[in-house]
Amino acid sequence: MSKKRYFIEISYNGTSFHGWQIQPNASTVQECLDKALSVYFRQEVVTLGCGRTDAGVHASQFFAHFDLENVDDRAINRVLSGVNSLLPYTVAVKQIFLVHEDAHARFDASSRAYQYHIHFSKDPFKVDRSWLFKGDLNVQEMNKAAEVLLGFSDFSCFSKSHTQTFTNNCNVTAAYFEVEKDGSLIFNITADRFLRNMVRAIVGTMVLVGKGEISIQDVVDIIESKNRSKAGQSVPACGLYLVKVAYPYVGSKE
């Protein structure tokens, strides 16, 4: 049996991790997953993720790909409990499935969706899972500002400074806030790709709109400036979730 490529779908609570990507002297999701897969399959396994989440950021859906040698495809469906038993409770494997040999978890993703959670009153069950905002926000104005994002493609103003990327263009197809039954707020955004720190910087800017500190036109001016220092501060990582990653060939397994 030759080497074959697989996709793995996981979810994780990012509170105790320094992000997805392996880095020296820090606990990361990738390191944790690679170790578990290597132990279970008794061969070195190196995963490549659909993106990089920063320290403290969560994911309810995250894909990675990896290669295996001499593994019976029929046995793959039975590995979930075994691999999960080697992982901490904060990381869960949902499925592992065979893909074509050139499939790429990062480059083949056609869209990604994030949510940012905000709550307004102290709640012990939302610690490290949502951002506690003290004050009032005008959600209607924030939604008007979020709609502005759909008319632009260059989001340099929301990108972490000094990051190496071939382009700061992103195709944002949805961006809106919704109020939950308990009064908490969720920001939803979907795009083909995202820049480093982009969602947290956008939410920080939208909050300024909600507080009445900047106008809708100011948001337009900020985006057109392509200057990170013009936009709002990044909100805390604890409220951010990667919630959906789509692929043209995954279909119902999304």
**Active site members:** 54
**Which one, of 109, 231, 106, 132, lies nearest residue 185 by Cα?**
132
3-state secondary structure of 216: helix
Intra-chain end-to-end CA distance of the chain, in Å? 28
Distance CA 25, CA 11 (A): 23
Neighbour-count burial for 71-104, b at 16+ CB within 10 Å, e otherwise:
beeeebeebeeebbebbeeebbbeebeebeeebe
Please name the residue that has the structure tokens 């956008």. Answer: 202
Q: Under a CB-based contact definition with an 8 Å cutoff, are residues 49 and 232 in contact?
A: no
